[in-house]
């Protein structure tokens, strides 16, 4: 009787957590957030001691399963001993770190003393298999590919890279029922034709060219349908799914083919979340909710149809989109839309200072696109700002002039002799040119000319380095 009573208490505790569902994980995430990882640019040396220390906590087993091309250790972290095995791998692409952050937070939750009955019951139902940072060499220099420039997600057939062999070996050894292929995607995907940027994208990968749906893939679709329902509460309208064209070299497609229900999750973009800390929280919610769903079988209550209603992922977003402007160039006037996108670059090589470089990415009729910032420029005229004739010694000398008054009379390009640090240059409300640098063309794809926007003969805005500056309220910025 005592045993039955204890078992009943555990079941009730587990069901209470299930009833609270994702809201409980959402509300408690901050308690378990790993404070030593706070941006996208952490490296193998930052997480290695965190992973190895898990061996000191009950319930964890940490295995070294191989090394990268440059000799960095790749680990498998096991937790739980239940029959449902769940494999997760993060940072297969070195510059896609959001899920790694979330996994570190999950480790903190699992090793805490909180919710002991829930975790005890979960451990009886599932075995969690984590492979954080599969591509540590790529992460070291914040690039997609590994040290020999192989895309690991296109090496599932040939298995030439040691990192690829490690993932295949672990999958075959444990034969998990579910696999989570965790990535980051471009910030410029939109959800169907909604005009909303995609925060989270999913895919139940095809396992053959016919894109057939067997039970393995169907289970992926059902779980994604449940996760979509959860994410709609936090990022409504900002969830999409990838095209499921079969890619015979990709790990997701092949792991699905090998019998593991595979869920691709891609972290996209949100306004005012450049380091993806909110998306990190959503990953924590999705993964924890998935563990509960798989343990409890909740995903079986969802359907393929619910999965198929998720809108498609399509590149359709700009950082800045200016619409319906009268563009004046070469003595002609055109009605054009201007789309700007930013690119993260390192100013001093892969270990240097990261800065954002903006450029005109598209021009013309962009009515099927949207942006993180959209400005209706109907009635405005846009023209390239003039180049000021004086060459300044350095940025400080320029700043100490009446540059703001010069902008108001049509100047927006200035030359300086000493190089301006890239990350500073990117935030300036005008363009800095080197002594011998020519005036940027406009409109021209890939250029970053300073532009003036005027209405009724008065300059009201200046566009420089991918940002709009309101000259009437500039001093308040």
Predicted confidence (pLDDT) at residue 348 exceeds the cutoff of 60 = no
The reported pTM is 0.91
Q: Yes or no: say if 152 and 163 are a contact pair by the CB < 8 Å rule.
A: yes
Tell me how crowded residue 88 is: count the other CB atoms within 10 A of its CB: 25
| Structure confidence at residue 162 (pLDDT) | 98
Could you give the angle at the alpha carbon of 86 between the alpha carbons of 3 and 81, nearest 5°? Answer: 30
Task: Return the biggest CA–CA distance within the chain.
Answer: 92
| Confidence tier at 352 by pLDDT (50, 70, 90) | low
pLDDT of 111 > 80? The answer is yes
Residue 75, CB-side half-sphere exposure with 13 Å CA sphere: 22
DSSP string, 159-176: --SHHHHHHHHHHHHH--
pLDDT-derived band at 477 (thresholds 50, 70, 90) equals very low
DSSP-derived letter for residue 339 is E
317-476, CATH topology level: Urease, subunit C; domain 1 (2.30.40)
CA distance 234 to 424: 34
Q: At what angle do helices 98-111 and 277-296 cross, to 10 degrees?
A: 60
Q: Among 66-75, 173-182, 324-333, 416-425, which is the least confidently predicted range?
A: 416-425
Query: Strands, DSSP E only, in 295-416?
Result: 313-315, 317-329, 332-346, 354-364, 370-376, 381-384, 386-392, 411-416
- Answer yes or no: is pLDDT of 19 > 50: no
Give pLDDT tens digits for 140-165: 999 999 999 999 999 999 999 999 99
Gap between the Cα atoms of 390 and 169, Å rounded: 64
Burial of residue 408 (CB within 10 Å: 0-12, 13-18, 19+) is middle
The pLDDT score that the predictor gives to residue 3 is 44
Give the pLDDT confidence of 424-471 residue by residue, as tens digits.
Answer: 777 889 999 998 899 999 999 999 999 999 999 999 999 999 999 999
463 Cβ contact partners less than 8 Å away, ≥ 6 residues apart: 320, 322, 340, 382, 450, 451, 452, 453, 469
Q: What is the mean pLDDT of the chain?
A: 92
Query: What does the pLDDT read at residue 152?
Result: 98
CATH (residue range 2-315): 3.40.630.10
pLDDT of 268 above 50 = yes
Indicate if the pLDDT at residue 20 is higher than 50: no
B/e letters for 96-105, b = 16+ CB within 10 Å, e = fewer, are bbbbbbbbbb
Chain centroid, CA 98 distance in Å: 6
List Cα–Cα distances, 313 to 90, 195, 218, 237, 243, in angstroms. 21, 11, 20, 12, 7
Compute the distance between CA of residue 353 and CA of residue 422 in angstroms, rounded to an integer: 8
pLDDT one-digit tens code per residue, 239-267: 999 999 999 999 999 999 999 999 999 99
The residues spanned by each domain of the chain are 2-315, 317-476
Yes or no: say if 62 and 105 are a contact pair by the CB < 8 Å rule.
no
- In sequence order, the β-bridge partners of residue 329 are 332
Tokens coding 34? 């790993």
CA atoms within 13 A on the CB side of 381: 14
* Residue 450 CB-density burial (10 A; 0-12 exposed, 13-18 middle, 19+ buried): buried
Say whether the peptide bond before residue 443 is cis (omega within 30 degrees of 0): yes
Q: Tens digits of per-residue pLDDT, 208-240?
A: 999 999 999 999 999 999 999 999 999 999 999
Confidence check: pLDDT of 319 > 70: yes
């Amino acid at each position: 009787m005592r045993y039955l009573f204890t078992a009943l208490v555990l079941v009730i505790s587990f069901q209470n957590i299930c009833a609270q569902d994702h809201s409980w994980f959402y509300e408690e995430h901050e308690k378990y957030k790993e404070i030593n990882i706070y941006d996208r640019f952490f490296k193998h040396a930052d997480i290695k001691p965190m992973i190895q220390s898990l061996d000191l906590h009950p319930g964890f087993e940490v295995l070294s399963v191989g090394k990268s091309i440059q000799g960095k250790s790749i680990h498998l972290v096991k937790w739980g001993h239940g029959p449902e095995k769940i494999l997760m791998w993060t940072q297969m692409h070195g510059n896609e770190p959001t899920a790694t952050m979330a996994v570190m937070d999950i480790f903190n939750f699992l090793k805490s003393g909180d919710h002991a009955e829930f975790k005890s019951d979960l451990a009886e139902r599932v075995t969690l298999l984590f492979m954080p940072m599969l591509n540590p060499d790529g992460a070291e220099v914040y690039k997609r590919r590994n040290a020999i420039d192989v895309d690991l997600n296109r090496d599932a057939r040939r298995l030439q890279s040691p990192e690829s062999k490690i993932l295949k070996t672990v999958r075959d050894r444990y034969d998990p029922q579910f696999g989570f292929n965790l990535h980051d995607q471009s910030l410029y995907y939109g959800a169907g034709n909604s005009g909303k940027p995609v925060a989270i994208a999913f895919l139940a990968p095809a396992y053959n060219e016919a894109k057939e749906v067997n039970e393995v893939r169907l289970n992926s679709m059902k779980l994604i349908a449940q996760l979509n329902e959860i994410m709609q509460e936090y990022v409504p309208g900002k969830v999409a799914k990838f095209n499921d064209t079969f890619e015979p070299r990709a790990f997701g497609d092949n792991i699905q083919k090998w019998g593991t229900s595979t869920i691709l999750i891609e972290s996209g973009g949100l306004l005012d979340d450049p380091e993806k800390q909110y998306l990190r929280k959503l990953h924590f919610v999705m993964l924890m909710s998935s563990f509960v769903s798989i343990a409890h079988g909740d995903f079986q209550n969802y359907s393929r149809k619910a999965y198929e209603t998720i809108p498609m992922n399509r590149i359709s977003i700009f950082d800045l989109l200016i619409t319906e402007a009268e563009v004046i160039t070469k003595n002609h006037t055109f009605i054009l839309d201007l789309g700007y996108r930013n690119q993260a670059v390192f100013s001093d090589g892969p270990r240097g200072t990261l800065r954002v470089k903006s450029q005109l990415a598209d021009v013309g009729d962009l009515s099927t696109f949207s942006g993180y910032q959209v400005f209706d420029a109907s009635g405005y005229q846009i023209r390239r700002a003039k180049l000021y004739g004086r060459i300044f010694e350095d940025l400080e000398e320029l700043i100490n002039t009446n540059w703001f008054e010069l902008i108001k009379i049509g100047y927006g390009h200035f030359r300086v002799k000493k190089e301006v640090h890239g990350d500073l240059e990117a935030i300036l409300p005008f363009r800095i040119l080197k002594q011998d640098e020519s005036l940027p063309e406009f409109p021209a794809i890939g250029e970053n000319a300073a532009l003036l926007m005027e209405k009724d003969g008065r300059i009201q805005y200046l566009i420089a380095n991918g940002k709009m500056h309101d000259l009437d309220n500039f001093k308040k910025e």
